[in-house]
Amino acid sequence: MSDYDIQSYLLDRANIHDVITKMSLYLDLKRFTSLASDVFADKMQVDYSSLLGGEPYELTGEKQAVTWMEQLGGMDCWQHVTTSILIELPQPGKGVGIPKNAGALANCVARLERREARGGPEASNGGRYDLEVIRTNKSGNPWRISRLKADVVWFAGNMGVYEGVENKPAEG
C-alpha cells in the first residue's frame, strides 16, 4: 500500500471539486459531450425522485448526458449553481492508501424557464446533491461522478414547467 501524501490529497480535492463544478457549468453551456467524457463515470446511478418522482436508475455516463439534453430540450433557458462542495476524502498519512472513491455533498439551486408552460413560465428549486466520485484511469483529471442523488429542499414556481420531464433515462 502506498502512502497517501499531502500533495496527492490536495490534488484529489481540487480535481473532485472541478468535476462537480463542471457538471453544472457544462450542463448550462450545453456541453453534453463534455459531460459524458469529462464528468460522468462509465456507469452511474442517478436519483431525482425527490423532484420528479419515479425511481433511481442506473445507466452509462453517456446516456445520462443524453437524458439531460432531452429533458432540457423543451426549456427556453436554465441555470444550475452548485456551491459549498464538501468532499469526503481520508486525511493523508503513512499507511493510508490512495482512495479509489470519495463522497461529496453540495448545495445546489436550479432555475428553469419554459415560456409556453401552462400555469407560468418559471420554476426554481434548491437542495443538495449527494455524490460519489470514482478514480478512473483516464488522463488529466481522473475523477468522475458515479452517483448523483438530488435532495430537493424547496421549490418555487410552476411545476408545469417540468411537464414531460421524467426521472428516467432517455429512450434508446
CA 137 from centre of chain: 20
Task: Please state, in angstroms and rounded to a whole number, the distance separating the CA atoms of residues 39 and 155.
Answer: 26
Helix, strand, or coil (residue 158): coil
Q: Would you place residue 144 in the very low, low, confident or very high pLDDT band (cuts 50, 70, 90)?
A: very high
The alpha carbon of 115 is separated from its chain's Cα centroid by a whole number of angstroms, namely 26
CA distances from 55 to 2, 47, 52, 103, 150 (A): 40, 7, 9, 21, 12
* pLDDT-above-70 percentage for the chain: 99
pLDDT digits (tens, 9 = 90+) for 24-41: 999 999 999 999 999 999
For the chain, what is the mean pLDDT? 95
Q: Which domains does the chain show, CATH number per domain?
A: 6-162 (3.10.450.50)
| pLDDT (0 to 100) of residue 166 | 77
At CB < 8 A and 24+ separation, what contacts does 55-63 make? Answer: 55/167, 55/168, 56/149, 57/167, 57/168, 57/169, 59/169, 61/35, 61/36, 61/144, 61/145, 62/36, 63/169, 63/170
Distance of alpha carbon 92 from alpha carbon 9, whole angstroms: 6
